[in-house]
Amino acid sequence: MDNPIPRRDTLKLLMLAVGLPATVRPIHRPHAPAQPRDDLAEGLAALVKKHRVPGALAGVYRQGKVLTAGAGIANLNTGAPMTADLGFLTGSITKVWTCTLVMTFADEGRLDLDRPLIEYLPHLRFGDPEVTRRVTTRHLLNHSSGLDAGDYIEDFGEGPCANRLYVDALARIGQIHPIGAYSSYCNAGWVLAGHLLEFITGKTWHDLLTERVIKPLGATRTYAYAEDGVLHGVAVGSVPDPARPGEHMATPRFLLPKTFAPAGATLVPTLEDNLLLARMHTRGGVAPNGTRVLSEASARAMATRTIDHPSGPASGYGLGWGHSTPGGQVTLSHGGGSNGGRALLVVVPGAEFGYATFINSNAADAFATELHAWLVRDYHPTPPPEPPAPAAPGPVDRAPFAGVYRRMTSKVTIREEGEALGVESEWIAAEAPGTEAYMIGRAVRFVMRPSDRNKLVPSAAPAGSRPVPWVFLDPDQAGRYRLMYAGGRLSRRIGD
């Protein structure tokens, strides 16, 4: 369910606690002989212990060499150690896999990204008839459809029938913004993309992904059906334990609703296989085993910026990939959330560098930040320069931020409280059945402060730090912002 990691986020994501010995599993492949380097294992173990997270995985690809490491505990129910060969729920990184699959159909001429979807899916209906007539596959792949279904979840089961039921339910969904006007992260678009491929082929998304991407890539430990991952072992997510403050427990539910499979509910790869996918995209669509998975044109199209984020030109989307240019280097990335887990995949095509991570905790921001900063600093062949620290703003009027903001599954209320702004964030569980475990431990009340005339950051963030801001857009005649961009999603002001 998480979104691609923009520039300001590229150094954010990973793990939880217990100082068990780290394990390193070198990858023995003719195309990329692994070179054992104890510092990856030792560094990961030290960070897991420092931040008291259950466990973590990290893999690095650097100019032809691959190394993976695991540290801590993989499953708090059993105490099994986190080893580098374990599979894990990759969450929304699945969208890069699904987009790759879609592009194989574009390569064959069976799908035109810019033709209206209604020409392929005559039963398609949205709340806005104009959107029904105009929305294209490209709008799905770069999150610009405007559908107010960023995290709209219904549990209809798994497979083509479930996806058809989900798509039919979109007939009651309206718009959060006009089609193509902005990018706003939209999970629903990827269930729709999966349904599109199933409808034109008569095969399941799972089988299509396996036949057209997983097998040609040589990703021998990647499973489209999550239950198959147990054949080789899977890490289990962890969430804060309500009965033991500061401690974790295993997630009470392993999967988000399976209807979300094409968007990120069921795919289980390993670190090595996520890195195989990233490397294929840096090699013009050719897998490290020499098999062409995508045409060079399609690989290039996925890696080319198609739309900026509403927060500005520092980052945006290609197709499937998040796209940013820190220090002038094109960087492709995507994050992924699951019940009690967080994953990240980053690749810098021009430097032959990438890394993949997984944290079995949904409450490890500080650990994630330090882990990813370390991987870039110590393993990137030509790390980009640190951007300058943001300057402290002058006096900023807080009144334009205050109000109630709404999108499907989420309601945010912002009130002026002295010199700061109090925020209350509510997840509307009735609009996202089956996500209860995903939300365990999420902050619902906190304080924010302006970092610019249209940006807020957590008040707890140190001055001069680089927390990801909430960005506010489209002021009305009274100067009150009508749109809020937070967590990659747009929300509309619905009241004061």
The three-point CA angle 493-333-135 to 5° equals 50
Q: Which of 92, 298, 324, 410 is catalytic?
A: 92
Instruction: Give the closest residue to 191 by CA, choosing from 229, 221, 237, 147.
Output: 147
Largest CA distance in the chain: 64
Give the pair of three-digit tokens for residue 322: 């998040």
How far apart (Å, rounded) are the C-alpha atoms in residues 350 and 232? 34
Q: 3-class secondary structure for 391-457?
A: CCCCCCCCHHHCEEEEECCEEEEEEEECCEEEEEEEECHHHCCCCCHHHCCCCCEEEEEEEECCEEE
Instruction: Give the closest residue to 2 by CA, choosing from 459, 442, 335.
Output: 335
How far apart (Å, rounded) are the C-alpha atoms in residues 482 and 178? 14
Specify whether 425 is catalytic. no
Give the pair of three-digit tokens for residue 58: 């990290």
Report the DSSP beta bridge partners of residue 322.
317, 333
**Contact yes or no for 324/10 (Cβ under 8 A):** yes
How far apart (Å, rounded) are the C-alpha atoms in residues 303 and 134? 24
How far apart (Å, rounded) are the C-alpha atoms in residues 314 and 203? 39
The DSSP call for residue 225 is S
How far apart (Å, rounded) are the C-alpha atoms in residues 378 and 434? 40
> Catalytic amino acids?
92
